[in-house]
């Protein structure tokens, strides 16, 4: 053990020496546009997935407290043994209706849901093709499916429909073809070309699976996600998403699709069979978050307005973020150490925004990822822009 510990410590030391060590910041107040950070006082948060500001919405919090009183702390078991509460069923019905599918099934995280999906539905002889920039949980899910089922797999260039078509042509002989895409790509803020993907799926008889974690509550006029954004609600075969971002921000994820899919996932997916259900407090808060989003579409409108405002202001300030229309606004800065340094300088100015480097993004494409929320006021966003201008000049990104 002592040699393992020494080796691990030297790994950490290398990261620290390179300026790429991720330091954890501790919050003393609920997630929101502004939080109290230990040792820092109040800071503006520009790096949270709390897109609709529901993490501390009183009704969402109250629903969790009520569920704690009604159901206690948790299931104390795997779901099929004795771990399903009525709130799980209510949540799953509401989620399905929200994203436009007949049914849904909750998991303790979207990571869990994604990882469960491919190994459960793929079989030997199937072909799974995945966008190059898909989330790590999809990548691991496909790897696991390949190892377990001996399906074949491929990766298509990010959002490159010609490459996807080539891969599908090459897999004409496969028993089934499964296309995996993010709805919104988390590090780019770009939106999948869903109408084209659906068209290719029709042409080549493929199943489309979309992870809408950064789109649920975010895209579309009423926040139903990427399918609503493109006017194709109900056309995606399988949607996965998280409850840990716009929908309350606690934790949890789900798979949405036909009844038979949710049934099979209940019967066979290993995280359902061998791991506890979503805590009822979280299920109840998420359920209230969905209902609140449906009842308050103006929150989604405010998120869209804030996004447009911030994107225009950061460009006006002289930065060149990746173009797009989502609340994820990445500013590419090159080296990981630069991204981390900028995020520390921003924190010194009262803005919490995270720098991302390798291996989360490709080498040399480190970035500061800004995330806008409906909870931000214009004053918050103006303060952020002023801080970015100062830091941008200090690190010579701006003149």
Ligand X SMILES: Cc1ncc(COP(=O)(O)O)c(C=O)c1O
109 binds ligand X (CB under 6 A): yes
From the CB of 318, what's the least distance to ligand X, in Å?
29
Span from 38-46, 77-85, 210-218, 379-387 in contact with ligand X (CB under 6 A) = 210-218
Q: Please, which residue, 214 or 224, has the CB nearer to ligand X? A: 214
From the CB of 47, what's the least distance to ligand X, in Å?
12
Residues in the interface with ligand X (CB under 6 A) total: 14
Q: Please, which residue, 112 or 153, has the CB nearer to ligand X? A: 112
Query: Which residues neighbour 383 within 8 Å (Cβ) at sequence distance 6 or greater?
Result: 44, 350, 351
Q: Please, which residue, 135 or 376, has the CB nearer to ligand X? A: 135
336 binds ligand X (CB under 6 A): no
Note the Cα 394 to chain centre separation in Å.
Answer: 32
Residues 223-282 that bind ligand X (CB under 6 A): 242, 244, 253
Q: Please, which residue, 130 or 242, has the CB nearer to ligand X? A: 242
Q: Please, which residue, 99 or 391, has the CB nearer to ligand X? A: 99
Span from 50-58, 108-116, 123-131, 329-337 in contact with ligand X (CB under 6 A) = 108-116
From the CB of 187, what's the least distance to ligand X, in Å?
9
Q: Please, which residue, 171 or 361, has the CB nearer to ligand X? A: 361
- Per the listing, tokens 């030297």 go with 10
Per residue, the 3-state secondary structure of the chain, as one string, reads: CHHHHHHHHHHHHHHHHHCCCCCCCCECCCCCCEEEECCCEEEEECCCCCCCCHHHCHHHHHHHHHHHHHHCCCCCCEHHHHCCCHHHHHHHHHHHHHHCCCEEEEECEHHHHHHHHHHHHCCCCCEEEEECCCCHHHHHHHHHHHHHHCCEEEEECCCCHHHHHHHHHHCCCCCCEEEEEECECCCCCCECCHHHHHHHHHHCCEEEEEECCCCCCCCCCCCCCHHHHCCCCCCCCEEEEECCCCCCCCCEEEEEECHHHHHHHHHHCHHHHHCECCCHHHHHHHHHHHHHHHHCHHHHHHHHHHHHHHHHHHHHCCCCCCCCCCCEEEEEEECHHHHHHHHHHHHHCCEECEEECCCCCCCCCEEEEEECCCCCCHHHHHHHHHHHHHHHHHCCCCC
Chosen residue from 85, 98, 111, 292 binding ligand X by CB under 6 A? 111
Chosen residue from 115, 131, 211, 288 binding ligand X by CB under 6 A? 211
213 binds ligand X (CB under 6 A): yes
Q: Please, which residue, 186 or 293, has the CB nearer to ligand X? A: 186
From the CB of 214, what's the least distance to ligand X, in Å?
6
CA distance 392 to 399: 8
Query: Which residues neighbour 5 within 8 Å (Cβ) at sequence distance 6 or greater?
Result: none
Q: Please, which residue, 94 or 211, has the CB nearer to ligand X? A: 211
From the CB of 387, what's the least distance to ligand X, in Å?
25
Strands 152-156 and 127-131: parallel
Report phi then psi at 194, rounded to 5.
-60, -45
135 binds ligand X (CB under 6 A): yes
Report phi then psi at 381, rounded to 5.
-70, -35
Positions annotated as catalytic residues are: 186, 214, 245
From the CB of 344, what's the least distance to ligand X, in Å?
22
Chosen residue from 110, 116, 282, 353 binding ligand X by CB under 6 A? 110
Chosen residue from 88, 177, 214, 229 binding ligand X by CB under 6 A? 214
Residues 138-197 that bind ligand X (CB under 6 A): 182, 186
131 binds ligand X (CB under 6 A): no
Span from 52-60, 110-118, 189-197, 221-229 in contact with ligand X (CB under 6 A) = 110-118
From the CB of 122, what's the least distance to ligand X, in Å?
19
From the CB of 3, what's the least distance to ligand X, in Å?
33
Residue numbers at the binding site for ligand X (CB under 6 A):
109-111, 114, 135, 137, 182, 186, 211, 213-214, 242, 244, 253
């Amino acid at each position: 053990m002592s040699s393992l510990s020494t080796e691990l410590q030297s790994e950490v030391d290398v990261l620290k020496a390179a300026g790429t060590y991720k330091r954890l910041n501790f919050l003393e107040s609920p997630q929101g546009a502004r939080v109290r950070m230990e040792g820092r006082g109040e800071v503006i948060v520009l790096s949270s997935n709390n897109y609709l500001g529901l993490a501390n919405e009183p009704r969402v919090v109250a629903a969790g407290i009520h569920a704690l009183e009604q159901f206690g702390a948790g299931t104390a078991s795997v779901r099929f043994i004795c771990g399903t509460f009525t709130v799980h069923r209510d949540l799953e019905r509401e989620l399905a209706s929200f994203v436009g599918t007949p049914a849904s099934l909750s998991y303790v995280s979207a990571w869990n849901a994604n990882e469960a999906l491919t190994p459960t539905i793929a079989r030997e002889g199937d072909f799974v093709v995945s966008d190059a920039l898909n989330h790590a949980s999809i990548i691991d899910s496909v790897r696991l499916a390949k190892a377990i089922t001996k399906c074949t797999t491929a990766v298509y260039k990010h959002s490159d429909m010609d490459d996807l078509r080539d891969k599908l042509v090459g897999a004409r002989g496969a028993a089934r073809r499964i296309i995996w895409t993010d709805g919104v790509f988390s590090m780019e803020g770009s939106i999948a070309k869903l109408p084209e993907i659906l068209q290719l799926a029709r042409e080549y008889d493929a199943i489309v699976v979309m992870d809408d974690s950064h789109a649920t509550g975010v895209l579309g006029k009423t926040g139903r996600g990427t399918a609503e954004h493109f006017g194709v609600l109900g056309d995606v075969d399988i949607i996965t998403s998280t409850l840990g971002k716009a929908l309350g921000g606690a934790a949890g994820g789900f798979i949405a699709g036909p009844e038979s899919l949710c049934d099979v996932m209940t019967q066979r997916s290993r995280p359902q069979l061998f791991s506890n259900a979503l805590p009822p407090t979280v299920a109840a808060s998420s359920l209230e978050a969905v209902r609140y989003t449906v009842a308050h579409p103006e929150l989604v409108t405010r998120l869209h307005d804030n996004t447009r405002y911030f994107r225009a202001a950061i460009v006006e300030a002289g930065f060149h973020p990746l173009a797009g229309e989502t609340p994820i606004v990445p500013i590419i800065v090159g080296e990981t150490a630069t991204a981390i340094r900028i995020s520390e300088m921003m924190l010194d100015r009262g803005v919490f925004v995270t720098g991302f480097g390798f291996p989360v993004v490709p080498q040399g494409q480190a970035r500061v990822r800004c995330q806008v929320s409906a909870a931000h006021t214009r004053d918050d966003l103006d303060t952020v822009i002023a801080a970015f201008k100062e830091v941008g000049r200090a690190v010579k990104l701006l003149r």
